[in-house]
């Protein structure tokens, strides 16, 4: 077995061990609380599955989140680079100036500069490594344009035109996403008001009327759990969903 295979096997064992520990913990807690072996097995299985899949997809989710953050910051760095290029500043100096940016994009450009200076990479190679790390199509387009300027770029005021054009296209896409999300946010807001205020009130009315007229009744602990735990949990999940749907460049 090669080294790569060993690393994958180790990660898989780690996922199973953590998930198994979570499932066993949920099993014992559920067994103590419900005193029912079937409910305890169900809880243990659910928590084991949730823990395993969370560990499996979390790294990819983090990578996509980081790529989205870089995409949101990249246009401004590209505009800065294009201005430097128009001023006939050396390409290496342009990268160094972009490395002074804050946020994730500044960190990436600092890494590019370090790859060139410390690891002896060529600028095209370091930029391609940046593209591979993020796995973003937008970053790949920007890197291809930067490499084209580095290898075949002309001098003068038009030197940064291609880089600036890509930055403007990315900003235009962000404005489009902003308008689309603003329309969705109205629906999300109405849904949140319904879930947090209207539906709980209807449920309480239904519980009272049902017990008096329809001969339906809720046990006190059931009503308490639904009102105090159930509805707030739905609100929290809805807020997480709204945040997940919010474009990264609009987040605070």
pLDDT recorded at residue 216:
61
- pTM, two decimals, is 0.67
pLDDT of 58-74, one tens digit each? 777 788 888 888 999 99
Residue indicated by tokens 């291609």? 162
What sign does the CA torsion over 187, 191, 192, 198 have?
positive
Residue of 242, 252, 235, 237 whose CA lies nearest to 182: 242
Would you say 100 and 106 are in contact if contact means Cβ atoms under 8 Å apart? yes
pLDDT of 198-235, one tens digit each? 888 888 777 777 666 556 666 666 777 778 888 888 88
Task: Show the DSSP H helices in the chain as ranges.
Answer: 3-34, 37-86, 91-98, 103-117, 123-134, 137-152, 161-193, 199-212, 220-224, 231-245
Residue indicated by tokens 């823990």? 51
pLDDT recorded at residue 143:
93
Residues of the chain short of pLDDT 70, as ranges, are 1-15, 34-35, 153-157, 210-221, 252
pLDDT of 113-124, one tens digit each? 999 988 888 999
Q: At a CB cut-off of 8 Å and minimum separation 6, what does 13 contact?
A: none
249 DSSP 8-state letter = G
pLDDT recorded at residue 10:
43
End-to-end CA gap in the chain: 46
Structural Rg of the chain based on CA atoms: 27
Domain boundaries, the chain: 3-62, 68-170, 177-250
Would you say 83 and 160 are in contact if contact means Cβ atoms under 8 Å apart? yes
pLDDT recorded at residue 101:
86
Tokens matching residue 32: 């103590």
Residue of 135, 165, 5 whose CA lies nearest to 70: 135
């Amino acid at each position: 077995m090669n080294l790569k295979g060993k690393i994958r096997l180790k990660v898989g064992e780690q996922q199973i061990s953590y998930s198994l520990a979570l499932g066993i913990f949920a099993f014992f807690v559920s067994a103590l609380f419900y005193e029912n072996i079937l409910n305890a097995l169900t809880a243990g299985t659910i928590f084991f599955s949730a823990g395993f899949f969370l560990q499996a997809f979390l790294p990819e989710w983090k990578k996509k989140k980081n790529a989205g953050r870089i995409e949101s910051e990249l246009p401004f760095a590209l505009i800065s680079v294009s201005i430097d290029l128009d001023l006939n500043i050396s390409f290496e100096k342009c990268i160094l100036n972009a490395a002074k940016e804050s946020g994730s994009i500044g960190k990436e450009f600092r890494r590019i500069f370090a790859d060139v200076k410390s690891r002896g990479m060529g600028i095209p190679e370091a930029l391609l490594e940046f593209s591979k790390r993020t796995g973003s199509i937008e970053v790949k387009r920007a890197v291809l344009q930067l490499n084209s300027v580095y290898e075949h770029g002309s001098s003068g005021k038009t030197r940064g035109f291609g880089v600036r054009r890509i930055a403007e296209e990315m900003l235009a896409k962000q404005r489009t996403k902003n308008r689309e999300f603003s329309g969705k946010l109205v629906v999300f807001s109405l849904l949140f008001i319904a879930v947090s205020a209207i539906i709980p009130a209807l449920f309480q009315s239904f519980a009272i009327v049902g017990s008096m007229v329809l001969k339906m009744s809720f046990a006190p602990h059931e009503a308490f759990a639904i009102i105090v735990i159930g509805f707030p949990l739905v609100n929290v999940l809805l807020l997480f969903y709204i945040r997940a749907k919010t474009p990264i460049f609009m987040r605070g």
